[in-house]
Chain A
């Protein structure tokens, strides 16, 4: 069993606050780390795929960093908006392209107006 841990489990912030959450994964045999945003009753939406140690990715107000040596990734949201409310999932892939994704349980973000 491969453990992917996400923290915190849930987060409530006010509109305009910046926030960040963590994904921890095994550092051995790393292949890729994925971040998804999942709104209720919708499909999980791919945010980032990160493959190299020190990678930084950005999409609008959302950014992510990757440390493969110590096995963690941070997701940052700057100036949170109510439409950012969703569950943010990370998924670790090891070995190869056809390797399975190991998901964390997600961080549920609620942004209050």
Chain B
């Protein structure tokens, strides 16, 4: 299995809702990532987990809460979002090679709309 899966594909939520995005990989990768992409902009890193521990938080607001229950799963819990949080959320994983060839493999993303 060489893919990263994300569910749901689309999500519409109100500002008072609580929802979660899910990401899964079965490639034995030891690092997992959340990116956010707004229209016409490059993907921007939000969080990095390595060996199931949070390694990088790019100053993301607390209304986004990541969770890595095991090495194959990555969740992003959403609460009290704002309309400006509407974006494509991409998950990626990488094997964490010790040399510079480590490559991130991406899922297809979840398109989130906050009303």
> Which A residues form the contact surface with B (CB < 8 A)?
4, 31-32, 34, 36, 41-44, 46, 49, 51, 89, 93, 97-98, 100-106
Contact = CB atoms under 8 A, between A and B. Distances in A.
B99 to A, nearest CB: 8
A49 B106 contact: no
22 contacts: A36-B106, A43-B106, A43-B108, A43-B109, A44-B90, A44-B106, A46-B105, A49-B102, A51-B99, A51-B100, A51-B101, A97-B98, A97-B102, A98-B56, A98-B96, A100-B45, A100-B48, A100-B56, A100-B58, A102-B42, A104-B42, A105-B41
A4 B100 contact: no
Interface residues of B, number: 29
Contacts of B45: 100-101
A104 B90 CA distance: 16
Given A36-B106, A43-B105, A98-B55, 7 more contacts: A42-B108, A44-B106, A49-B101, A98-B50, A100-B48, A103-B42, A106-B42
A86 to B, nearest CB: 13
Contacts of A89: 42-43
